[in-house]
Amino acid sequence: MLRSRLWYVPTMLAPPDRRKARERQARARQRRRDGRRSVRFDVDYASVVTALIDSRRLTEGEALKHANVERAVSVVVAEWTRRWREAK
């Protein structure tokens, strides 16, 4: 009986799809070559979301998705960086 069930074991023990991991890593390396990095810092999340909504960068519905908030904060920081460098 045990032998008849062994046919599914190799599929259960198969390694995860490495192609997706390689593609993700290649994109990360390209971002680093382009001078882009992920920066993490703590913020008062409610205040940031409120500011993004008040400045009309996000709607209340869009602000419900964390990825949208991250993207909007990234745009704000990029704009601030550009303006600060131009002012020098």
Identify the residue whose tokens are 């045990």. 2
Q: CA distances (Å), 10 to each of 23, 32, 34, 39, in order?
A: 25, 37, 41, 40
Would you say 58 and 67 are in contact if contact means Cβ atoms under 8 Å apart? no
Kindly tell me if the per-residue pLDDT of 74 is higher than 90.
Answer: yes
Which DSSP helix (H) or strand (E) runs through 5?
helix 2-5
Q: 20 or 55, which is more confident?
A: 55
Locate 5 and state its tokens. Answer: 């069930």
**Rounded to two decimals, what is the model's pTM?**
0.68
Looking at residue 55, what is its pLDDT?
97
Tens digits of residue pLDDT in 33-73: 999 998 899 999 999 999 999 999 999 999 999 999 999 99
